[in-house]
Amino acid sequence: MSTPQTHDRAGQLAGAQDLIDVPRLVSAYYTEHPDPSVPGHRVAFGTSGHRGSSLRLSFNEDHILATSQAICEYRVANAITGPLFLGRDTHALSEPALLSALEVFAANGVEVRLDSRDRFVPTPAISRAILAYNRGRTTGLADGVVVTPSHNPPADGGFKYNPPDGGPAASGITNWIQDRANAILEAGLKDVQRIPATRARTLDSVSGYDFLDHYIADLPSVIDLDAIRSAGVRIGADPLGGAAVDYWGEIGDRYGLDLTVVNSGVDPTWRFMTLDWDGKIRMDCSSPYAMASLIARRDEFQVATGNDADADRHGIVTADAGLMNPNHYLTVAIDYLFRHRPQWSANAAVGKTLVSSAMIDRVSADLGRRLLEVPVGFKWFVDGLVEGSIGFGGEESAGASFLQRDGGVWTTDKDGILLCLLASEITAVTGSTPSQAYSTLTERLGDPVYQRIDAPADTRQKAALSKLSATNVTATTLAGEEITGIFTEAPGNNAGIGGIKVTTKSGWFAARPSGTEDVYKIYAESFQDQDHLSAIQQAARAMVDAAIA
**Number of Cα atoms under 13 Å in the Cβ half of residue 268:** 22
Catalytic residue among 100, 150, 286, 466: 150
Neighbours of 343 (CB within 10 A): 10
The question of whether 150 is a catalytic residue gets the answer: yes
Asked if 414 and 313 count as a contact pair (C-beta separation under 8 A), the reply is yes
Write out 393-430 in H/E/C secondary structure.
EEECCCEEEECCCCCCCCCCCCCHHHHHHHHHHHHHHH
* Ramachandran category for residue 88: left, alpha or beta (phi over 0 → left; psi -120 to 50 → alpha): beta
Helix (H) or strand (E) holding 315: strand 314-318
Question: What span, in angstroms and rounded, lies between the C-alpha atoms of 149 and 178?
Answer: 16
Burial of 32 (0-12, 13-18, 19+ CB in 10 A): middle
Neighbours of 297 (CB within 10 A): 15
CA angle 5, 46, 520 (to 5 degrees): 35
For residue 511, the cross-strand partners are: 500, 522
Question: What span, in angstroms and rounded, lies between the C-alpha atoms of 469 and 463?
Answer: 13
Q: How far is CA 37 from CA 45, 90, 515, in A?
A: 16, 31, 20
Phi, psi of 300 (to 5 degrees): -80, -15
Catalytic residue numbers, as ranges: 150
